[in-house]
Chains A and B, each alone.
Chain A
Amino acid sequence: MTLDADAARAYLRRCGQVIRRHAAALTRLDAALGDGDHGDNLLIGFAAVDDELSTRDDDDLAMLLSSVGNALVTSVGGASGPLYGAAFIEAGFVARHFEHVGLAELATMLEAAAAGIARRGRCEVGDKTIYDSLAPAAAALRAAVDGGAGEVECLTAMVQAARRGMRATSGMVARRGLAMRLGERSRGHRDPGAASCFLLIRAMIPPGSR
């Protein structure tokens, strides 16, 4: 597998499509826990990403991810923009020295993205956030790569870990974000951030290859 600027552009466009398809569902999830605008916010964010992609045709993956991250930070009003923005910016920053981005490099980028979100959101696994999908996905990808698994197995392990992480948020009590004010009442609802993060991770595998 090779992740170059073109592949990244294709991935980011798939992200926009996925968000458009699931925006209503994400907003419904957010209505139970937050202020009911997660899907709408991501629609705005990934529309800005699409605009950014249409103006950039360079081959620099790091710069591409960095500019996409900034587009998310500056366009989204809610918490998801600065958090996803941090993830893309951090992933881009570690990618700047990579001559070639394969599975191992992707794992490093995903780890940097997760660390960026954890730092910005001051969250950890179990807080019922985006991080609950992203952290296990990064760890699963790293473990699969280190174990010598093939591309399909690696990416499948990553997506499955993200899905498990997302599902686990239903049983959690929110410790970060607006849902925190609900306390125990936040239990029983899937976190919208974890759900959107799972969708963005799953979009790394092109539909035909799943």
Chain B
Amino acid sequence: MNPNRLAARITLLEAENERIFREAQLAADTMFAQYQLSQIVASHETPHALAEAVLDELIHVCGARGGAVWTTEPRSGQAVVAASRGTTLDGIRFDELARGPEVQRVADTSWARVPLDDGSRRVGLLALTAPLDRPLSASALRFLSLVRHELAVALRAAQLREALDLERAELSAIIEGASDAIVLVDERRRVVRINAAAARTLGMPHEQLVGRSCEAALDCHSHRSAESAGWPCERCPFEQVLRSGEAVTGHERTLGREGEDPVHVVGSYTLASRSAVGRALVVAIFRDTTEIAHLQELRRGFLATISHELRTPLALIKGYVETLLYLPPEPTVARDYLHRIDRTSERLAGLVTQILDVTQLAAGELALEREDIAPAALLEAAADELRDRQPRLHLRVEVEAGLPELNVDAARLRQVLDNLLANAAKYGSPDGRILLSARRDDDEIVIGVADDGIGVPADEREMVFEQFHRGRNVRESHLPGYGLGLSISRRLVEAHGGSLAFDPAIVDGTRLLLRLPLRMPRASVATPIAIG
């Protein structure tokens, strides 16, 4: 062969060798870039983080100037920008950019668009901007074609993961925030999850309850021993639901708590899930009805008492009126009847006023009209009125010198004093003595109402402040009364930021201590109380 031709041939082969080598290396580079992109995809969880990391990598690998990733919101189907780099996206019309299925340069723009389809739907769109001096290379577009499906699947997975996390967080917030106790029990009746309200209701920390058997967690054994009937595990609603799959609702029971009062709950039990391999979850929702049960009891008592207290004087009035109408007695007797009707009507009017007070206090509608008043003036006025009505009483008023003025609703406080003095007069000894006093104790004024009467048994000294409760010695004495006065008085004093209680030091007779702060708390509206 001609040496020149041989040399030319060798040069040609060398060039071919170089070209093949470079192509092989570039193919290896592309594979490596794909591998690196896969690692990035695998190490980012949220769609936003994934979009940002992938965009950075693709801009780097493809030699782009910038770009953006739009994702299609799963719920709304709206496209939102998940990441953008090196571009303001001004003048970019997403609709135009998104049209078409292929990776391609967008005509008349520097953009290359990469639709991200996961095989069934459009997950998003990736777009890269070319450098100012040249379009994106063909190898870059080829690379984008190679990776776009993997990116779409990864984005879709991240979207689903995010939606699932969000849903889980929402459900957790609902469960944790619920005021009802929620307990999840598995097929072996082991507690697998509880909410904060359940931990409170069962009186045990979360970590001590989870993993326990439901009967231990709900303290069924002590419950059984506490109630004569009880209910065995076969009748346990968890067991019923696990057996039948049917929900149990309105199931009432008591939940025992160590060292605390048991709570009365109404529970609903539902099968949350059951797997083919026998796994099952039952969710129980307990509503603490202790307070409701207590209120209902109060209400029943209130209504019974009210109807009794109203009916008795009404029956009396009706009896006298019928006698006067149909069997007219002697004028003196008739006059006596009319006096009795008058007194009974007054009692009725007094009762109605007290009931209205109770209702007002219960609704929290009591608004105090405060004014400055000297304690001495308040006490003297109350004492004078009692003296007028019952001149034979030995009523003494002792007010410490130099007491500051009180800022109170004088009419309401008078109501309290009148009530306490009336009690002292009513339950005191026939020729008894009443001492009405006022002194300063630190930053309080203490008003005392003391008598030497029948007193209140020590074990009833708190109960007599409850509505309609009257001490047993008072009930036996047949002295008239409704058992509302002390309850109303205490609420009125508490509305002033003060307190009303028996002086525990007094054993014979009664001494009530009314403490009023000299500096009144700002909010001084009566808090609602429960009436039946």
A residues in contact (CB < 8 Å) with B: 73, 79, 82-83, 85-86, 89-90, 93, 116, 119-122, 176-178, 180-181
Interface residues in B, total, Cβ within 8 A: 16
**Is the beta-carbon distance between A73 and B60 smaller than 8 angstroms?**
no
Judge whether B61 is part of the interface by a CB distance below 8 angstroms: yes
A122/B39 contact (C-beta < 8 A), A93-B21, A181-B44 known: no
Residues of chain A within 8 A of B36, CB atoms compared? 79, 176-177
Query: B18-33: which residues lie under 8 A (CB-CB) from chain A?
Result: 21, 25, 28-29, 31-33
Q: From B56, which residue of chain A is reached at the shortest CB distance?
A: A180
A89 to B60, CA, bound (A): 24
B residues in contact (CB < 8 Å) with A: 21, 25, 28-29, 31-33, 35-36, 39-40, 43-44, 53, 60-61
Q: From A90, which residue of chain B is reached at the shortest CB distance?
A: B25
A-B contact count (CB 8 A): 39
Residues of chain B within 8 A of A177, CB atoms compared? 36, 39
A181/B21 contact (C-beta < 8 A), A79-B32, A119-B29, A120-B29 known: no
A178 to B40, CA, bound (A): 7
**Is the beta-carbon distance between B25 and A79 smaller than 8 angstroms?**
no
Q: How far is the CB of A87 from chain B (nearest CB, A)?
A: 12
**Is the beta-carbon distance between A82 and B28 smaller than 8 angstroms?**
yes
A154 to B98, CA, bound (A): 57
Taking a contact as CB atoms closer than 8 A, the residue among A93, A119, A178 that contacts B39 in the complex is A178
Residues of chain B within 8 A of A85, CB atoms compared? 28
A49 to B53, CA, bound (A): 34
A122/B25 contact (C-beta < 8 A), A178-B43, A181-B43, A181-B44 known: no
Taking a contact as CB atoms closer than 8 A, the residue among A73, A86, A89, A122 that contacts B33 in the complex is A122
Top 3 closest pairs, chain A to chain B, by CB: A82-B32, A181-B43, A120-B29
Q: How far is the CB of B140 from chain A (nearest CB, A)?
A: 12
A180 to B44, CA, bound (A): 11
Q: From A93, which residue of chain B is reached at the shortest CB distance?
A: B21
Q: How far is the CB of A119 from chain B (nearest CB, A)?
A: 6
**Is the beta-carbon distance between A116 and B25 smaller than 8 angstroms?**
yes
Residues of chain B within 8 A of A93, CB atoms compared? 21
A86/B28 contact (C-beta < 8 A), A122-B33, A122-B60, A181-B53 known: yes
Q: How far is the CB of B25 from chain A (nearest CB, A)?
A: 7
A73/B53 contact (C-beta < 8 A), A79-B36, A122-B60, A122-B61 known: no
**Is the beta-carbon distance between B43 and A89 smaller than 8 angstroms?**
no
